[in-house]
Amino acid sequence: MKRVFVFCVFIIFVAANAASAQESTVSKGLALTPPMGWNTWNKFACNVSDELVRGMADAMVKSGMKDAGYQYVVIDDCWQVSRDEHGNIVADPQRFPQGIKALADYVHSLGLKFGIYSDAGEKTCAGRPAGLGHEYQDALTYASWGVDYLKYDWCNTLDGQDAKASYANIRRALDASGRPIVLSICEWGKHQPWFWGAEVGGNLWRTTDDIQDRWGGKQKWPDGGCCSNGVMSILDEQVELYSYAGPGHWNDPDMLEVGNGGMTTTEYRAHFSLWAMLAAPLIAGNDLRNMTPEIREILTNKEVIAVDQDPLGRQGRRVWKDGDLEVWAKQMQDGSRAVILLNRGASEQPITLSWEQIGYPGHLSAGVRDLWAHKDLGKFSGKFSAPVVSHGVVVVRVTP
């Protein structure tokens, strides 16, 4: 009798594992390089609509963003208004009169992918209905709409709600829908998701509080809560996280503010370059329908994007710092290094990169190419120096 019981337990165990192994293959192979796309939140917050998202998808194609590699068009918070009598999530009928599926179909018809937002708690951050207790139902709904990417937030969760278990649960629900859906974990780094995000099938996880369109510093929210971050304070929070990123699972220092008006063109170039160095998801957050040529040029710089998208999937790290001056380096698949010379200070300064900092012997002769000037600068031995303007970067690729 006892043996029969043990055998039954064994069979159940094997079957359960087989089922979960089967589920987990659904999302295998997603986000092998950091996801690239556009999201409504940074520029439009709750002002989302069918018209806006279609316009932005069109602009993504026309502006050259799609050609540069941007793919996901993501609606953030505020698309949802209620649940129907069966508990199904309902999109705002005024703002999305044709429903979400028709919008997703349109985005797909342009050769792009479609993403949406929900939250692991009882309500989203903007107070809309969220996912708690509806994970499997919502996952089926999203799959039936053709959703390819889900950003899952952490507002209004229950006291003591376990973050790792909650994100594991939504991943299982998404996989059970049968549709491969990128999972973007958004709990702002509160529970150190870099330790468990990959294990639960998260493809990217936010590492910080929300970004703000500002160069430096942290700022409190209007309600006194902490905090939103400028680009430099986010950067500082990434320094120790490089070992956790890799193909399929990325640190997410939040979406891009490039083009939203709060920083100079020089600062936006630095912001974009540093996000590429961090192998960060490149999710634009500006109005793509009316970009200046400078902003378009930043967002579509294919040589810098190639740093972000390098298939080796290494996150770059800070290899030298002296006050306001820093050197960051990223190992690339072909053995070359992408390097950023960053000047956080108020005046122009020369910065020297030494080969030792990037793991090359001093005598090695290597070609240096400037990825913003799109110019080969020649062969150098041992080191390379360049003047770097205030709040600026020089980005080079060093190839032995």
Q: Which residues are catalytic?
A: 153, 210
Bridge partners, residue 329, by sequence? 317, 339
- Rounded CA gap, 18 and 227, in Å? 43
Nearest to 399 by CA among 384, 388, 389: 384
CB of 141 to ligand GLA, least distance (A): 19
Contacts of residue 127, defined as CB under 8 A and 6 or more positions apart, other chains included, come to none
> Which residue number places its CB atom closest to ligand GLA?
125
**Binding residue for ligand GLA (CB under 6 A) from 36, 91, 143, 186?**
186
Query: What SS3 class is residue 343?
Result: strand
How many residues bind ligand GLA (CB under 6 A)? The answer is 10
Question: Which one, 151 or 172, has the nearer CB to ligand GLA?
Answer: 151
Q: Mind giving me the DSSP string for 344-399?
A: -SSS-EEEEEEGGGGT--TT-EEEEEETTTTEEEEEEESEEEEEE-TTEEEEEEEE
**Binding residue for ligand GLA (CB under 6 A) from 32, 126, 241, 386?**
126
Question: Which one, 77 or 287, has the nearer CB to ligand GLA?
Answer: 77
Q: 273 with 256: CB under 8 angstroms?
A: no
Query: What SS3 class is residue 183?
Result: strand
Q: Note whether 58 binds ligand GLA by CB under 6 A.
A: no
**Binding residue for ligand GLA (CB under 6 A) from 153, 213, 267, 287?**
153
Torsion, Cα of 329, 333, 336, 337 (10° steps): -10
* Region 86-105 residues binding ligand GLA, contact defined as CB under 6 A: none
**Binding residue for ligand GLA (CB under 6 A) from 41, 72, 250, 268?**
41
Question: Which one, 68 or 126, has the nearer CB to ligand GLA?
Answer: 126
Question: Which one, 41 or 384, has the nearer CB to ligand GLA?
Answer: 41
Question: Which DSSP category does 249 fall into?
Answer: B
Question: Which one, 31 or 307, has the nearer CB to ligand GLA?
Answer: 31
- Rounded CA gap, 10 and 17, in Å? 11
Question: Which one, 56 or 307, has the nearer CB to ligand GLA?
Answer: 56
Angle subtended at Cα 304 by Cα 303 and Cα 307, rounded to the nearest 5 degrees? 95
Q: Note whether 76 binds ligand GLA by CB under 6 A.
A: yes
Q: Note whether 210 binds ligand GLA by CB under 6 A.
A: yes
CB of 322 to ligand GLA, least distance (A): 33
Question: Judged by CB under 6 A, which stretch of 124-132, 231-239, 240-248, 383-391 contacts ligand GLA?
Answer: 124-132
Nearest to 283 by CA among 308, 319, 248, 315: 308
Q: Which two tokens stand for residue 225?
A: 């809560």
**Binding residue for ligand GLA (CB under 6 A) from 31, 91, 116, 125?**
125
Q: Note whether 149 binds ligand GLA by CB under 6 A.
A: no
**Binding residue for ligand GLA (CB under 6 A) from 50, 77, 252, 267?**
77
* Region 321-380 residues binding ligand GLA, contact defined as CB under 6 A: none
Instruction: Output helix, strand, coil percentages for the chain, rounded to the nearest 5.
Output: 30, 25, 40
Question: Judged by CB under 6 A, which stretch of 54-62, 119-127, 273-281, 317-325 contacts ligand GLA?
Answer: 119-127
Which residues of the chain form contacts with ligand GLA (CB under 6 A)? 41, 76-77, 124-126, 153, 186, 188, 210
